């Protein structure tokens, strides 16, 4: 692998540049397995697959003077036992206590002197299961590559043999500062030559150049009202503190698909409708007016080509999706969400923003580092809603079935609420990560998600019944993750 191939992209490096002590850029994914999965099991399962995940044995190394983005270099001191550790489950040993434990691992930032991942094996849960808390820096993965990583580290059958290991790993020595500087200068010159070549030969393809310019202009023109008008401020749009909290709500994936079939649109449209309804309920419950309120969610969009699956790193753009919090009627809210998302897709917003982001490749790395630490307030959106489709079949680690998964994501300055959606084995989970200084009761918000889902499901059921279609009401939420369900399970 060349130095250039190992150099972080502008997107990957950006997650290092924007990181702050109160805004780390790593996620915490919780996986709950059947039975007693030992520390030795997790170490063995991971060790057998390290050759498939080379980043697990590499750390980021910055060149002198910020001449270029850092590179992934082999860590000669890598010890898997420093990355996979064991901890006792906190009382009372249920999923809510596990979520509180995982939230504490979202701070502080990860040690950049080591590979940017860690796994905590949690033993002693009340129901006899075992959990792992997997911490992974966003510089290493985006949502799609995170799902790919999940598949690499697990088996599709309980008795699958371990993958064959080629040859023993022999780390390359770390380059000295002069070598790092030399590589950085060379890579910068290569990239500059590539840009010059592309720009020069674009003259001979005027139709393609004009088409790209027209698409970018049309998308930016359509976006100008959003960019010119700041998103309304809410209780979760203040400076983030040094604390985190998590909650989640789960739903049968079949029910979500049935709502989509009844009302039209996509699964993501249904999720946005549920989130908007939940936020409306939550804000009203705290005495805030929501009539006519339209919030804005940043929705990451994968730009990864099919041949890019299995590769780590970030290849994402985004769309700025409206959240119609002020529309009480669930069907009307869904129709509004669906129409807005279709309009954004037709305008090519994600592709336009991706092209704009790639323009950052022409900005020197040291300037990007300085810009990343600027304290400019984020007024473009109120929250993040990241939807990561996962495998719909059960996975296994050392013969232990993965029963369920939930987790926490990154908060950034002025964004104290993050929705992370993942589907696994016919269950869709909406994870909520919050700054408890802004949202002190995340499980209440999880209850609002369940209530918003039920309201939308019942409305879709009525529409289905009016059309002579099968009813949906028999397919309800699982209840796991709900505060009321948790309390009922412990009384």
pLDDT tens for 338-372 read 999 998 888 776 666 656 666 566 788 889 899 88
How confident is the model over 292-296, as a mean pLDDT? 96
Residue 314 has pLDDT above 70, yes or no: no
**Least confident range of 85-89, 134-138, 365-369, 483-487:** 483-487
How confident is the model over 416-424, as a mean pLDDT? 96
Cα angle, residue 122 at apex, residues 246 and 30 outer, rounded to 5°: 40
DSSP letter string, 417-464: EEEEEEEETTEEEEEEEE-TTT-S-HHHHHHHHHHHHHHHHHHHHHHH
Percentage of the chain modeled with pLDDT above 90:
67
Q: Which residues pair with 249 in a beta bridge?
A: 430
DSSP letter string, 195-231: HHHHHHHHTT-HHHHHHHHHHHHHHHHHHHHHHHSPP
Could you give the 3-state DSSP secondary structure of residue 12?
helix
Average pLDDT, the chain: 88
- Cα separations in angstroms, 197 against 67, 317, 353, 360: 22, 25, 23, 18
The two structure tokens encoding residue 360? 């950052």
How confident is the model over 427-453, as a mean pLDDT? 98
Q: Quote the CA–CA distance of 454 and 270 in Å, as a whole number.
A: 12
Residue 112 has pLDDT above 80, yes or no: yes
Predicted confidence at residue 219, as pLDDT, reads: 61
Phi-psi region for residue 381, left (φ > 0), alpha (ψ -120 to 50) or beta? Answer: beta
Chain CA centroid to CA 347, Å: 24
3-state helix, strand, coil in the chain (%, to 5): 40, 20, 35
Who wins on pLDDT, 357 or 269?
Answer: 269
Q: Which residues pair with 220 in a beta bridge?
A: none
Q: Which residue carries 């039975």 as its tokens?
A: 35
Q: Which residue carries 């790639």 as its tokens?
A: 358
What's the pLDDT tens digit per position in 317-336? Answer: 778 899 999 999 999 999 99
Predicted confidence at residue 142, as pLDDT, reads: 54
Q: Give 307's pLDDT tier (boundaries 50, 70, 90).
A: very low
**Least confident range of 198-212, 294-308, 450-464:** 294-308
Rg (CA), the chain: 23
Q: Give 27's pLDDT tier (boundaries 50, 70, 90).
A: very high
The two structure tokens encoding residue 4? 């250039």
Residue 490 has pLDDT above 60, yes or no: no
Task: Report whether 405 contacts 426 (CB < 8 A).
Answer: no
Domain borders along the chain are 231-489
| Best CATH choice for the domain 231-489 from the list 1.10.1270.20, 3.90.1150.10, 3.30.559.10, 3.40.50.880 | 3.30.559.10
The two structure tokens encoding residue 248? 């989640």
Q: Which residues pair with 7 in a beta bridge?
A: 71
Task: Report whether 97 contacts 45 (CB < 8 A).
Answer: no
Predicted confidence at residue 285, as pLDDT, reads: 97
Q: Which residue carries 């939308």 as its tokens?
A: 456
- Sort strands 58-61 and 71-74 into parallel, antiparallel or unpaired: antiparallel
Helix (H) or strand (E) holding 249: strand 245-252
Q: Quote the CA–CA distance of 457 and 460 in Å, as a whole number.
A: 5
- Sort strands 117-123 and 130-137 into parallel, antiparallel or unpaired: antiparallel
Helix (H) or strand (E) holding 124: none
Q: Which residues pair with 119 in a beta bridge?
A: 84, 134
- By the 10 Å C-beta count (0-12 exposed, 13-18 middle, 19+ buried), 170 is classed as exposed
């Amino acid at each position: 692998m060349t130095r250039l191939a190992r150099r972080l992209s502008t997107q990957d490096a950006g997650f290092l540049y924007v990181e702050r002590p109160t805004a780390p850029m790593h996620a915490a994914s919780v996986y709950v397995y059947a039975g007693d999965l030992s520390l030795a099991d997790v170490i063995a399962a991971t060790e057998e697959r390290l050759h498939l995940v080379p980043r697990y044995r590499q750390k980021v190394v910055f060149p002198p003077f910020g001449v270029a983005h850092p590179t992934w270099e082999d860590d000669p001191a890598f010890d898997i036992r420093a990355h996979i550790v064991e901890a006792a489950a906190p009382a009372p040993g249920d999923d809510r206590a596990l979520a509180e434990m995982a939230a504490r691992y979202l701070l502080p930032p990860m040690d950049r002197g080591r590979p940017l991942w860690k796994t905590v094996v949690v033993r002693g849960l009340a129901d006899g299961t075992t959990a792992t808390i997997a911490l992974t820096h966003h510089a290493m993965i985006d949502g799609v590559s995170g799902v790919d990583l999940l598949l690499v580290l697990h088996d599709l059958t309980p008795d699958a043999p371990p993958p064959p290991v080629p040859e023993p790993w022999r780390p390359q020595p770390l380059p000295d500062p002069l070598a790092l500087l030399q590589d950085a200068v060379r890579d910068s010159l290569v990239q500059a030559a590539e840009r010059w070549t592309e720009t020069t030969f674009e003259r001979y393809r005027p139709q393609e150049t004009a088409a790209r310019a027209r698409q970018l202009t049309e998308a930016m023109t359509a976006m100008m009202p959003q960019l010119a008008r700041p998103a309304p401020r809410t209780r979760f749009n203040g400076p983030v503190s040094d604390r985190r909290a998590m909650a989640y709500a789960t739903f049968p994936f079949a029910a979500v698909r049935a709502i989509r079939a009844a009302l039209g649109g996509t699964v993501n449209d249904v999720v946005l409708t549920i989130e908007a309804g939940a936020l409306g309920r939550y804000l009203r419950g705290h005495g805030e007016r929501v009539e006519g309120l339209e919030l804005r969610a940043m929705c990451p969009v994968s730009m990864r080509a099919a041949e890019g699956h299995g590769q780590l790193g970030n290849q994402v753009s985004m769309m700025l999706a409206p959240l119609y919090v002020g529309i009480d009627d669930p069907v009307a809210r869904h129709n509004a969400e669906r129409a807005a998302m279709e309009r954004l897709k037709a305008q090519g917003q994600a592709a336009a923003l991706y092209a704009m982001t790639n323009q950052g490749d022409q900005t020197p790395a040291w300037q990007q580092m300085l810009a990343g630490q600027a304290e400019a307030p984020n007024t473009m959106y109120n929250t993040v809603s990241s939807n990561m489709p996962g495998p719909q079949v059960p996975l296994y680690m050392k013969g232990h079935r993965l029963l369920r998964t939930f987790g926490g994501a990154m908060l950034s300055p002025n964004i104290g609420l993050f929705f992370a959606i993942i589907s696994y084995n016919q269950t869709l989970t909406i994870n909520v990560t919050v700054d408890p200084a802004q949202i002190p009761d995340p499980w209440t918000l999880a209850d609002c998600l369940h209530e918003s889902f039920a309201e939308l499901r019942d409305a879709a059921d009525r529409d289905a019944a009016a059309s002579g279609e099968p009813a949906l009401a028999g397919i309800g939420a699982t209840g796991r993750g709900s505060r009321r369900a948790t309390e009922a399970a412990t009384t």
